[in-house]
Structure 1
Amino acid sequence: MHVSILVPENSVMQAIADPQYLFSAVNQFMTVAGKKPLFDVQLVGLKKQVKLNNGLYSVTTSKLLKEVQQTDLVIIPALFGDMKNAIMTNEKAVPWINKQYANGAEVASLCVGAFLLASTGLLDGKKCSTHWGFQSEFREMFPKVEVVEGNIVTEEERLYSSGGAMSYWNLLLYLVEKYTDRQTAILVSKYFAVDIDRDSQSTFAMFQGQKNHTDEAIKQAQDYIDTRIHEKITIDELADLVVLGRRSFERRFKLATNNSVLEYINRVKIEFAKREFENSRKNINEVMYDVGYTDTKAFRTIFKKITGLTPIEYRNKYNKMVTEQS
């Protein structure tokens, strides 16, 4: 099958080299096993020479886009720098991506390559994953696309997307398993030392407050929440603070932050709890009380829902002091 790895300008070098390396390695493994190599891998682009990282690197493409009439899989690597500028720089690649999809090709975006994929319109009305740190910007730019928080891999109607940074390895393994078999995918995961079944980026996500909006009343409520992490805050208390009716306040809060009020409060508190687990010797109950929870079961449930790990698992994973004591 034909694999076309797009080489956009303003893209990440590793996100081009890694899929090329991986699919080539699969071919080698298949040859050793007495099978025919499956993947015909080519680097394709608008230019023969594409400069990356402000000219620090240069990639030579195998074919220009106009020379590729049909392919089976298009891989869009992660972009670099300002996303709007990166999309504008590569807008001439959009018709080619749409054409290949219309001809039956599957399209996979790696990390923030989702921005270029979304600019094609193919993701409108569909689900998508991208780097957790860019989700708010992505939603603002592409309101018709449903961002799936936490997912490492999202698939819908021959369109694939992955979570942040090195999460794209899990999407690449997912595709290897789909086109070959589970045994080959496991072999590849061991060779590249990648956890084949990791399905969430929630553990790595840092909640950034989502204040990139213009509703000053909601920003006031957010600042109030941020400075009262140790307290139990109610929705009525916040609504009264900004002189809004409860229903109006909840509606505007959701519109501005893409979180319900309670979701936002919990995420702010859990983000603080994560930092405490990472940098202090406090036990679970001490941290729980520090962020205003009194019910151990409720705290554990909310923490795991947001991070993908229990409080104990998170502390043991990220706190060096705890590790050294073990």
Structure 2
Amino acid sequence: MKTVTIIGFNGALASAITGVIDLFRMAGVTWARVHGEPPQPYFRTRLLTETGEACRCINGLSIGADGSWRDVAAVDSNDLVIIPTIGAPIDQVLADNPKLLTWLSQFRSVNDDQVRIASNCTGAFLLAEAGVLNGRQATTHWGFSNQFRQRFPEVDLQPDRLVTVDGHVACAGGGMAWWDLGVYLVERHAGAQVARELAKAFVIDAGRSSQAPYSALQARRYHSDADILKVQEWLDTHYSDPVTLSSLASLSGLTERSLIRRFKAATGDSPTGYLQVLRIESARQHLENSRLTVEEVTRLVGYEDVSSFSRLFRKHTGLSPGAYRARFGR
């Protein structure tokens, strides 16, 4: 039976601790009980903190620990370690846990394809600060992706992905993605059938693969290039107008080549890519809050061809315009 170790710390998100424990404890149990069969548990769980005392979560709840991670001197090949979501200010939690970062650094030297350590949401900041994610693909909550990229440029961040797996490290995206992470890890360690039964018993949609439908436009204005800021401000109010690269270059006072280079350096995107994001974000708001048809929304945000717009919308959000409205429309 595999041991799942959840690392507790002050300021963690309580549901990302208790929910994960529930999932692993009930794998092979809930489905069997529903069908009147003998339960067959596959995992044991434990919550470890630095001192072995309870951790106080961001919602004010204190959760009792089963021991201290300081007593676990080496990585046990039969263990699966999970870092829950950081609910408190991220910089504060990183600064308050230097010994935990040192303990986590032991996972930098693991070299196999069996998932041994995983993080949920902003818990990825702890793994990255400990150097565990260097040179690896990872994901975190889409709202903190810019902060993550700035702090950890050596990590290959995939903010649209709901779950990433790179070697022995797995990461999940937004706050409640521990559902998806838990079901995935159950499948890896107990088999696909157990994972399917667990998802059905907990009524979890196990088919999600992207957090793009939930994300919002990132401002991308943490730079100090005044010429590029001027272009961004103009695009904010003229995104639905016909826009050419030459007109943006004239507005900025730069050559087209210099505009592309400096825009990419400042925002991480090309002027065309940035314009697409503005238009898609506006379309999302119309689909959520209005009864305009998809054709009307298409023209309203600056496109003429509905098919091309729908393909672009799916590329950015992972859903067709109709499916997006069905899920998020009011």
Inter-partner Cα distance in structure 1 for 2:325 and 2:169? 36
Alignment of 1:135-284 (within 5 A): 135-284=145-294
Tell me by how many angstroms 1:98 deviates. 2.1
- Greater RCO, CA 8 A, separation 6+: 2
What is the alpha-carbon distance in structure 2 between the residues aligned to residue 35 and residue 290 of structure 1? 56
C-alpha separation in 2, matches of 1:249 and 1:141: 26
The one-letter code of the counterpart of 2:4 is V
What is aligned with 1:123?
133
Quick check: 2:121–2:175 contact (8 Å CA) kept in 1?
Answer: yes
Q: Which residue of 2 aligns with 1:60?
A: 64
Between 96-105 and 277-286, report the one with greater CA deviation.
96-105
Q: TM-score, normalised by structure 1?
A: 0.92
Question: Aligned with 1:227: secondary structure?
Answer: helix
Which letter does structure 1 place at the counterpart of 2:218?
Q
1:87 matched to 2:94? The reply is: yes
Contact 2:139 2:162 in 1 (8 A): yes
Q: Displacement, 1:181?
A: 1.2
Q: How far apart in 2 are the matches of 1:250 and 1:181? A: 48
Deviations 1:20-48 (A, max 9, x none): 11111115359866575332211011121
TM-score, L = length of structure 2:
0.91
Give yes or no for contact 1:30–1:36 (8 Å, CA) kept in 2: no
Question: 2-side partners of 1:298 and 1:30: how far apart?
Answer: 44
CA distance in 1, matches of 2:30, 2:324: 36
In structure 2, what is the Cα distance between the partners aligned to 1:231 and 1:150?
A: 28
CA distance, structure 2, for counterparts of residue 305 and residue 220 of structure 1? 28
Contact 1:151 1:163 in 2 (8 A): yes
The runs of 5 or more residues in structure 2 that have no matched partner are: none
Contact 1:101–1:107 (CA<8 Å) still a contact in 2? no
Asked whether the equivalents of residues 5 and 44 of structure 1 are also in contact (C-alpha less than 8 Å), the reply is: yes
| Deviation string, structure 1 residues 255-287 (Cα, Å, up to 9, x no partner) | 221222211110110100111111111111111
Distance (whole Å) between structure 2 residues aligned to residue 4 and residue 316 of structure 1: 38
53, 56, 70: which is aligned to 1:51?
56
1:76 alignment counterpart: 83
SS class of match (1:5) = strand
In the alignment of these two chains, the number of paired residues is 319
Deviations 1:297-325 (A, max 9, x none): 211111110111111222233223xxxxx
Q: C-alpha deviations, 1:5-24, integer Å up to 9, x for none?
A: 00022211111111111111
Residue 304 of structure 1: aligned partner: 314
User: 1:15 is matched by which residue type in structure 2?
Assistant: A
- The answer on whether the counterparts of 1:87 and 1:116 sit within 8 Å (CA) in structure 2 is yes
**CA RMSD of the aligned region, Å?**
1.9
Q: Aligned letter for 1:64? A: S
1:323 is aligned to none
Question: Residue 27 of structure 2: SS of its match in structure 1?
Answer: helix
Contact 1:124 1:144 in 2 (8 A): yes
Q: Which residue of 2 aligns with 1:41?
A: 45
Answer whether contact 2:30 2:201 (CA < 8 A) is retained. Answer: no
Name the residue aligned to 2:12: 11
Superposition deviation, residue 185 in structure 1: 0.6
Question: In the alignment, is the contact (CA less than 8 A) between 1:107 and 1:159 conserved in 2?
Answer: yes
CA contact (8 A) 2:56 2:62 kept: yes
Q: Is the 8 A contact 2:31 2:198 kept in 1?
A: no
Query: Which whole-Å deviations, capped at 9, do the CAs of 1:174-201 have from their partners, x for residues lacking one?
Result: 0000111111111111121111121111
Deviation at 1:246, TM superposition (A): 1.8
**C-alpha distance in 1, partners of 2:106/2:240?**
54
